[in-house]
Chain A
Amino acid sequence: DAGVIQSPRHEVTEMGQEVTLRCKPISGHNSLFWYRQTMMRGLELLIYFNNNVPIDDSGMPEDRFSAKMPNASFSTLKIQPSEPRDSAVYFCASSPESYNSPLHFGNGTRLTVT
Chain B
Amino acid sequence: KQEVTQIPAALSVPEGENLVLNCSFTDSAIYNLQWFRQDPGKGLTSLLLIQSSQREQTSGRLNASLDKSSGRSTLYIAASQPGDSATYLCAVRGNTPLVFGKGTRLSVIA
Residues of A within 8 A of B (CB): 4, 33, 35, 42-43, 45, 48, 56, 91, 93, 99-108
Contact = CB atoms under 8 A, between A and B. Distances in A.
B100 interface: yes
B97 A105 contact: no
Contacts of A48: 97
B100 A43 contact: yes
A61 B98 CA distance: 18
B42 A107 contact: yes
Contacts of A105: 36, 43-45
B32 A42 contact: no
30 contacts: A4-B43, A33-B97, A33-B98, A35-B100, A42-B100, A42-B103, A43-B89, A43-B100, A45-B96, A45-B97, A48-B97, A56-B96, A91-B43, A91-B44, A93-B43, A93-B44, A99-B93, A100-B31, A100-B32, A100-B49, A100-B93, A102-B46, A102-B49, A103-B34, A104-B46, A105-B43, A105-B44, A107-B41, A107-B42, A108-B43
A43 B88 CA distance: 13
A10 to B, nearest CB: 10
A100 B52 CA distance: 9
B49 A42 contact: no
Interface string B77-88: 000000000000
List the 8 closest A-B pairs by CB distance, nearest first: A105-B43, A102-B46, A42-B102, A43-B100, A105-B44, A99-B31, A107-B43, A102-B49
A70 to B, nearest CB: 21
Contacts of A99: 31-32, 93
B51 interface: yes
B31 A103 contact: no
B101 interface: yes
A42 B101 contact: yes
Interface in B14-35: 31-32, 34
